[in-house]
Structure 1
Amino acid sequence: MNASRIVPATGETAAAREHGPYLARVNFRFSGRARYAACLTHGGGVHGMIPELWDLTGPRPRSRMSRSRTPERLWTLPTPTHDGRLLLARRDRADAVRLVLLDPPTGEEHELAVFGPHVVALTPSPAPGTAAWAFTGDAAGRGTVWRLSGQAEPPELTATLPHPVVGGLWLDATGRRLTLRPKQPQVAPQVLDLTDGTLMPLAGPADDEYLLWAAPAGTLLTAAHRDGAYRLGLRHRDDAQAATVFPDRLNLIEGQVRPLALDPAGRRLALAVTRGARSHLLLHDLIEDTSREVGLPPGTLHALARWTEAGLHLLHNAPDRPPSVLTVPEPIAEVVPGDRQGVPASVRACAGPAGTIEAIVYGDPATARRVVIALHGGPEAAWHLAYDPLFQRLAGAGVAVVAPNQRGSTGYGTAHRDAIRGAWGGPDLADVLHLGHALAGARGPAGSRPMVYGASYGAYLALLASAARPELWERAAVVAPFLSGPALYADGPPTVRTMIDRLGGREVIYDALGPRDLLRLGDRIRLPLLIVHGEQDPIIPVTHSRRLRDRLLRAGRREGADFVYREVAGAGHDPVTDDVDGGVLDQLAAFLTSGP
């Protein structure tokens, strides 16, 4: 078999050696013609985040770190230009966006514009001479569109729109027609002609969402709500009268299906299919309506991908390999992973109180000198076989990690996912306590007790477990916890309140433990505790951790001795990645590897 291989970027191993093995990569973007990709990289021993540029013009991706004058923050969005420079949209503490052109080899910067504290989004352009389009909003509720040449020159105002929008899908290869996604739900999707700034209605059914396109074939992949479910459909870009076709077999694929890319001819569709904790790569023939699976090592595929004449460009990562841009040349047959850069992990089935619980496991939980149960956020989320810098730090120090997908997690059917609807801290808490008891039993009386760690909803669940069975745990570390569903509903943004309503997060549980309110349960949290929260968290207000800290003090806990509280200045909902100095990851790892 003539198997095409995915190969890692040639600079990746060198980058790992230079910046340490714990690389976190976020905010990936492709250039308009997918000649380059870019991301932000946070490496061990390096302060802040660094732009990383991926050159996709050769037989294999080549990556290099980009010099910049100041460390980047998590909310910096890098967009590569056609010639390998970077447009950086930097949001400052006043919420203004500074648009900068960076030359990666030299670190030379040119500030192009400063936009006010409103909507700012960049859409890469496939047109020669135009690197991207910037979409902004103003206080009057209008939208503006700016052309960015990719040169050291100010943006060119192209259009003023009656409402704010962001760019969607290109409808041609020339970079002329672009679908728009209005920020106001009552505004219908439209198409913007960038040659003259005119708007026109989007062709096809009003409820179709355009996902992918293939030029010059003109094939469009859409999604629409049909027969009680979202279905993938096909239509031609220029045929507004033809009905959307919904291929039967395409819509019967088992698992969580995410379209990645259409091939240039518009016949083959690459799909990432998540089943349990890992991703699978499928190629679907849209004419025959048949799929075949491409060999893919255990890991996770990101939703961002591009398919060009050079091959299929993917973002893949695994527990022992940081996220990387990988290229599969034609014929696409098999994916071969790059070099291992960390401690591997496996998927294991654990016995739970109501059935099997799948978990990502590093090391041997029964014999390792220490073990931590790690709880994911969400709650509608799950752990996947993906790279996690904290887990790598812990596993490298001899700490076993068990990351379960307890009830409430996605990817295991509706019954498993919906088990906690109207019962936050009910079935999922029972699963966590069951796993804690099982680990303690497997380790025996001579072994250290398990620890518990969680972020966001996982932090809330970890604190509930600490209050429910304080004698079970050795210590707990939490990042961005909230106090209760009702308290978060009162303080959180509209998107969070909508999620709480949908999942029944304000319902009260009446049992031996009582209502799941951490202020009420504060007296029961008696184990050593580390609390970390971003000062500017837009999802869970930092006031929740401040109130928890005050409650622990009133209960007689001594800050600095019984618990540690750290508020990360300027950080958002993910202070581990968003910490310029890199100290949060160090502190979490030190707390969970130190002795009793």
Structure 2
Amino acid sequence: MGYLARNYPTFPKQLPSGGDILDGDPPDSVGAAHYAPWVSTRTNAKAHKEGTRYMKAEERWQARFRAPRMTLPAWARQAPSRSVYRSNASGAWEIYAWDRATGGTRQVTARSQGTAHGLIDPTGRWIWWFADESGDEHGVWMRQRYGGGPDESVAPDIPPGHPMGIALSASGAAAVGVAQPGIFQIYLVRPGEPSELLYEHTEAASVADISLDGSLIAISHSEHGDARHPSLRVVRPGGQVVGELHCGDGRGVIGLRFAPAVGDRRLLVLHERRGRREPLVWDPVSDEQREIWLRDAGEINADWYDDGRAVLITSDNRGRTTLSRYDLGGGKIIPIETPRGVIEAAAARPDGTVEFAWSSAAHPPVMKSSNGHIVLNTAGPTSPRSVPVEDLDVDGPGGRVHALVSRPSTGTSPHPAIFLLHGGPHAHDADAFSPEVSAWVECGFVVVRVNYRGSTGYGVAWRDALQGEVGHIELADVMAVRDAVVARGLVDPDRLVLAGSSWGGFLTLLGLGTQPKAWAAGIAAVPITDHRTAYEDEAERLRAYHRVLLGGPPDELPDLYASCSPSAYIDQIEAPVLILAGENDPRCPIRQIDDYVARLADIGHAHEIYRYEAGHGTLVVAERIAQMSVQLDFVRRHLGLDG
């Protein structure tokens, strides 16, 4: 459980009357809702009625966090009745096994901070997962027999490190990627035998896939120095190079999966030869290539149908997803009917049906099949629904900016509002169910989410527009959307909160310092506060990414690293700040956050910090509720919403 520390030499607004404000450590049980942001202790009739309404709102948003969720079950290629999935039904995200033939399920892992990565081997005999300590993403791969039994380390001769991909073959061999300080390595692992080093380099590299028979291994690498636009290499056991794919400067090629049959050498790939992502079927031995041209592609992903004769195409465009089947024989594209919203994952079953994990902003996630059936329901109460999302397009300094707006179902405009900035930065907000968004809406806020330059889903040019002056580019787009919703009278310009996690947390702190008059409060979760210090402490794969985004390492570009860091503008911040930080975070390390908080204290700026014993976020449901409660309470007090 985390703990909250506050530093308020002066309060910009009077604290609200009524309600409990806790200092120091939180209670042992979050279920008691000691951080309850909307529970009033006033005794007059009107206040009691309002308190009851707010308590119901709190119960609803917490119910959305507590409702069990799961990922789309993945099955063994040669034993399709054996599946695995991740679920938070136990209170933390863990790995589960599901036997489709019998309907039986069992929990495979049970770790204090949850388990982030797991998969099943093609034969269905083994379940693999990554075991790290305290959520720091530094550890080793373990496995357990599908039916249960003792855990075993799969490669005890490989030192613990940060995972850089894994792929399993039907032969028992696995390709395992690991990042150590200053080096990226790819190993061929045969449990019980010495591991074989296939590849190593100082630039970022990861496992893309291994063929079903284990004879070919696809490696994503950036030997050319551009981790954002990787190249692809296929090698044999022993490291002999079979084939190479490179799209040129500023164009990436991403290996997806080998064909689903023993002896089939074809590899499904995404390329950017025409300035957008499109599928390609490649035989690395003969170098035969077949491009799949798609109209209005959006952000593309692809996977094989089980017979290898067709490809399942997933397209994310403007925050929503469509599915289609591409037949390799005739080149025909057949749309697959799905509800309007977002598909987090999709896969074709051996019988040709497609299973997919779907949700929308208003509808909680479900696991559906193209035949109309529900794939699997998790045990426990279902989540309350939420409000639908609205699209907003605004002219920004770099082109048209797309934003998603969620409005409360009660109250009148102008509302208080929170701008939730996504992480990544190469990610995007979408019309998907979000307990966090729903919590803010439930408590009377308009939620605005901006797919700023750097976001995916709007083409390669929009994604790659983020380079050099990072932070300032995205915030220019955010400000354009802010001005638009204020001008329309939807939100109150004096009650606007800027918030985000990871890269969104970085943008929040930078925005509070460079746009101080625009925001009434700020919430930064696991942020970057200083790029140089973060670079010194972060995981090796993040250093490679940093070099691409800013154009080089900090020793070569000290002024740029400084000008893009929130720490350079800390004296200009006017709004109170809440920072949430994981003690073991390898992505936005704690030292640079501690330095930033110490400077806030030195200048006497109103701030709070909530620290928790995990890494870059948490997989524990109770901890997520605690963090959401702290955020709501912080905003309630500083926007004067309970007085």
TM-score, normalising length from structure 2?
A: 0.69
Which residue of structure 1 lines up, in the alignment, with residue 510 of structure 2?
464
Number of aligned residues: 536
314-323 or 383-392, larger mean C-alpha shift = 314-323
Give the Å deviation of 1:439: 3.8
274-283 or 22-31, larger mean C-alpha shift = 22-31
Amino acid at match of 1:563: H
Shift in CA distance, 254/442, structure 1 to aligned 2, threshold 3 Å: closer
Distance 2:298 2:190 in 1: 36
Which residue of structure 2 lines up, in the alignment, with residue 532 of structure 1?
580
1:357 to 387, 401, 407: 401
Distance 2:443 2:304 in 1: 43
Distance 1:394 1:234 in 2: 44
Give the Å deviation of 1:125: 5.0
Which residue of structure 1 lines up, in the alignment, with residue 281 of structure 2?
234
Which residue of structure 2 lines up, in the alignment, with residue 277 of structure 1?
319
Which residue of structure 2 lines up, in the alignment, with residue 99 of structure 1?
142
Which residue of structure 1 lines up, in the alignment, with residue 457 of structure 2?
411
| 1:15-54 mapped onto 2 (5 Å cutoff) | 22-23=67-68, 25=70, 29-32=74-77, 33-42=79-88, 47-54=91-98
* Aligned 8 A contact 2:508 2:524 in 1: yes
Amino acid at match of 1:316: W
* Aligned 8 A contact 1:270 1:283 in 2: yes
Shift in CA distance, 200/143, structure 1 to aligned 2, threshold 3 Å: closer
Give the Å deviation of 1:213: 0.7
Which residue of structure 2 lines up, in the alignment, with residue 111 of structure 1?
151
Distance 1:463 1:549 in 2: 11
| 1:556-571 mapped onto 2 (5 Å cutoff) | 556-557=604-605, 562-569=606-613, 571=614
| 1:15-414 mapped onto 2 (5 Å cutoff) | 22-23=67-68, 25=70, 29-32=74-77, 33-42=79-88, 47-57=91-101, 66=107, 69-77=110-118, 79=120, 86-92=127-133, 95-97=138-140, 99=142, 101=144, 110-113=150-153, 115=156, 116-118=159-161, 123-126=167-170, 133=174, 135=176, 143=187, 145-147=189-191, 156-157=192-193, 160-161=196-197, 169=209, 171-172=211-212, 176-181=213-218, 189-192=234-237, 199=238, 201=240, 209=255, 211-215=257-261, 218=264, 220-223=266-269, 232-234=279-281, 240-241=285-286, 243-247=287-291, 250-302=292-344, 305-309=347-351, 311-321=353-363, 324-329=366-371, 341-354=384-397, 356-364=400-408, 367=413, 370-413=416-459
| 1:422-437 mapped onto 2 (5 Å cutoff) | 422-437=468-483
Deviation digits for residues 399-434 of structure 1 (CA, Å, limit 9, x no counterpart): 321111123323334554454433223342233233
Task: Establish whether residue 519 from structure 1 lines up as the match of residue 561 from structure 2.
Answer: no
Give the Å deviation of 1:533: 1.7
Which residue of structure 2 lines up, in the alignment, with residue 591 of structure 1?
634
Runs of 5+ consecutive residues of structure 1 not aligned to the other structure: 1-15, 148-155, 193-198
Amino acid at match of 2:329: I
Shift in CA distance, 169/34, structure 1 to aligned 2, threshold 3 Å: farther
Runs of 5+ consecutive residues of structure 2 not aligned to the other structure: 1-60, 224-231, 247-252
Shift in CA distance, 36/86, structure 1 to aligned 2, threshold 3 Å: same
Deviation digits for residues 445-464 of structure 1 (CA, Å, limit 9, x no counterpart): 97861211112222122222
Shift in CA distance, 295/475, structure 1 to aligned 2, threshold 3 Å: same
Amino acid at match of 1:528: P
* Aligned 8 A contact 2:368 2:374 in 1: no
Shift in CA distance, 80/214, structure 1 to aligned 2, threshold 3 Å: closer
Which residue of structure 2 lines up, in the alignment, with residue 502 of structure 1?
548
* Aligned 8 A contact 2:359 2:365 in 1: yes
Distance 1:314 1:524 in 2: 47
Distance 2:112 2:125 in 1: 20
Percent sequence identity is 17
* Aligned 8 A contact 2:508 2:522 in 1: yes
Give the Å deviation of 1:531: 0.2
Give the Å deviation of 1:297: 1.9
Give the Å deviation of 1:485: 4.4
Shift in CA distance, 419/158, structure 1 to aligned 2, threshold 3 Å: closer
Which residue of structure 1 lines up, in the alignment, with residue 601 of structure 2?
553
**Secondary structure at 2:289 match in 1:** coil
Amino acid at match of 1:357: V
* Aligned 8 A contact 1:440 1:449 in 2: no
Shift in CA distance, 335/579, structure 1 to aligned 2, threshold 3 Å: closer
Shift in CA distance, 273/227, structure 1 to aligned 2, threshold 3 Å: closer
Distance 2:290 2:101 in 1: 35
Give the Å deviation of 1:498: 3.6
Which residue of structure 2 lines up, in the alignment, with residue 10 of structure 1?
none
RMSD across aligned positions (CA): 4.6
TM-score, normalising length from structure 1?
A: 0.73
Which residue of structure 2 lines up, in the alignment, with residue 196 of structure 1?
none
Distance 1:84 1:317 in 2: 32
372-381 or 115-124, larger mean C-alpha shift = 115-124
